[in-house]
Each structure stands twice: as C-alpha cells, then as structure tokens.
A = this chain, B = another copy of it.
Amino acid sequence: MTLPHVHIIGTGLLGTSLGLALRRAEYPVTLSDQSPTAVRLAADMGAGTAAEPSTADIVVVATPPDVAARTIVAALDTWPEATVTDVASVKTAVLAEARTLTGDPVLARYIGCHPMAGREKSGAIAARDDLFLARPWVVCSDEDTPADRLAAVVALAEATGAAVVHLDPEFHDSAVARVSHAPQVLASLMAGRLKDMPADGVALAGQGLRDVTRIAASDPGLWTQILAGNAAEVRAVLADVRADLDALIGALDLEPGALATIAGLFAAGNEGHDRIPGKHGQAPARYSSVTVFIDDTPGALARLFTDVGELGVNVEDIRIDHATGIKLGSVDISVIPSAQVTLTEGLAARGWWVPEAAIDTEGRE
C-alpha cells in the first residue's frame, strides 16, 4: 500500500511536529507557511519538503485557530480531490465559519480534528516527532463523511502514535471547556492573586499552590484565541463556577446553615475529582504511596530506583520534594496497593529511611 501524500499548511509547533512524526512513519510530506523562514526551518528540521504541490491526498491545516476556517475552505478549493483536516482546539466555530464560506458537498471532504497535545512553548523550534504519542486525537465526522476519507485521516493520526477518539463537534467543545479551558482560567486567576503579595507571604507556598497554578505559566496570546474560539461553552462553565463561588462567598458570613453549604461544595469537589481517569486512561487510579527520605545528591535516586527495580515493583508516579536549606529530599513513590508492603519493607530492609507508610485506600494523596 502506498502511503498518501500529506500537505501541511502552517509550520508552527503542531504542524512541524506532525511533519516530523509522519516523516518518521515514511509518509511523503510537503509543507507551506505564510512565513518563508518558518517553512524553511521546518524543512531543515526534517518535517517534509517545502513546496506548494499541485496535488495532495490529505491537506492538514495547522494555522492559528482564528484563520483555520478560511484556510480550510481555500484548501478544499485548491485541491479538489484532497481530504482536508485541521488541528484547531475548537471545532464548532471552525465548522460554522467554513459553512458561511462554502457548501456542504464541498465540506464533506473536510474532517475536523483536535490532537490534544501541546507545549507551553511555540514555533517549529519547539517541535517534537513524538508530541502526539499516546495523546487523544479527536476526530469529528458525521454520516456524510466518506468512509475511505475517514479511514485515511484515522490512519494518519495513528501513524503519529496518538489514540483516536471519535466525537461530535459540540460534544468536543463542551468537554474541552470543562477539562481544559476552565482549569486554565482558574489556574491563571489564582496565580494572578499572588502578583502583589509580599514575598514573605508567597514564601509560605506549598505543593498544593504549585500544582493548582502550574499551567498559569502558559502563553496569554494563544489562550486568548482559544477562549475566543469557544466563548459560549467556556462562558457556560465559568457561569456555573461563579454561581458556586457566590454561594461560598455568601456562606463565609457564617450565618446558620453556612457550614453545610461550604462542606457541600468541598464534597462535590471530592466527587468530581474521583471521576478523573488514571494516567493509564482507565478507571480512576487508586495508588498507594511510599515516602522515602534521601540525601539530595547525585546518585541517590539511582540507588533508590535500582532497589525499587530489584524489588520488582512498577512505579506509577513519583513526587520529589526538596527540603528548604538542607541537603535532604523526600520521594513519594506511587504503586498499586498490592505492591505497597513489598516496597516499604524491601526498601527499609535495604537501609532506606522509609517512614511508616499509611495505606491510602481512598486514593487520596
């Protein structure tokens, strides 16, 4: 079977990473970008050949989201036999705008996609051929989508190592508003509250604050475009958050009944938290955690994980915390509950400082 010729329009982070991944899978790839420098860099990196081909089997639009729709329609016109797809992080608005520019028969050749991969860095220079590896790649098709075109797009996605998920555009946009866009907003608003704090106060920050605000380091320009492209759905989620926030602020007057309101909101948070899938993408993970204190020096982690490996235990996650001002660190190792006793006793027997481990049957960290 001959692999289809893929033309990628837009050689930023996603377009260049896609080119690298497809070249690795031996697809023929051509590249274009409105910036001659950007396309030359991507080609130099090995993402494909800089060219505007007269024919192509699949055209991937990897422009910024605000010009995706018009680029898709132009591509459908330029390559009248090609299947056209895109990588924009919002799907309904792109399709609606494309519909104002061309007809449904033409759009039957368009299959909207959203590979859920990215970095806080941007541009071809940040591209990686394994950016999509093991990430969800959302494919939006409907009953009018020709089966052979759909199969070709799915094969392209799978060639990058991504896991294909079929969703309709409205469902996709509503879901990403909740699992991606609203969390970004809340992380940024929380971090914004630290801007004018005295340094002595910020110094009390612990791991909780670090986790909640980690993604607040993301690019404001990109996120402004993403929110603008999914404004209605994001607004709906944030309105629900605001209603809960109002209820909580009101309850802080501590009038009768207030404590039940506060506790109810925290309990709802417990329930929602428990619905998030584990890292393996299956049911929410219930791991046990073993804490080990180590010298904060080169080699200590190697000795620790050599011992962990010799005990035959598979590590699900690791969290390192360094002491303030002293050469000591703690390592929390998450394992499946049945491995917890083996690990605790085995490491202690090998001379590691392992505090009494509490079996975490609730899966609460």
Q: Would you call B204 and A116 a contact (CB within 8 A)? A: yes
Q: A188-B266, A252-B227 in contact; A301/B309 too (CB < 8 A)?
A: yes
Q: Would you call A121 and B269 a contact (CB within 8 A)? A: no
Q: Would you call A208 and B183 a contact (CB within 8 A)? A: yes
Q: Give Cα A107 to B195, complex, Å.
A: 36
Q: Which residues of B contact A125 (CB under 8 A)?
A: 358
Q: Which residues of B contact A321 (CB under 8 A)?
A: 134, 279
**Which of B193, B231, B299, B328 interacts with A133 by CB under 8 Å?**
B328
Q: Which residues of B contact A249 (CB under 8 A)?
A: 235, 238-239, 242
**Which of B201, B276, B300 interacts with A174 by CB under 8 Å?**
B201
Interface: A147 (CB within 8 A): no
Interface: A254 (CB within 8 A): yes
Q: Would you call A203 and B134 a contact (CB within 8 A)? A: no
Q: Which positions 102-120 of chain A face chain B at CB distance < 8 Å? A: 116, 119-120
Interface: A228 (CB within 8 A): yes
The number of chain A residues with a CB under 8 A from chain B is: 146
Q: Would you call A186 and B189 a contact (CB within 8 A)? A: yes
Interface: A136 (CB within 8 A): yes
Residues of chain A touching chain B, judged by Cβ–Cβ distance below 8 Å, are 116, 119-121, 125-126, 128-130, 133-136, 138, 163, 165, 167, 171, 174-176, 178-180, 182-195, 197-206, 208-221, 223-224, 227-228, 231-232, 234-235, 237-242, 244-246, 248-249, 252-254, 258-259, 262-277, 279-281, 291, 293, 296-310, 312-318, 320-326, 328, 330, 355-356, 358, 360, 362-365
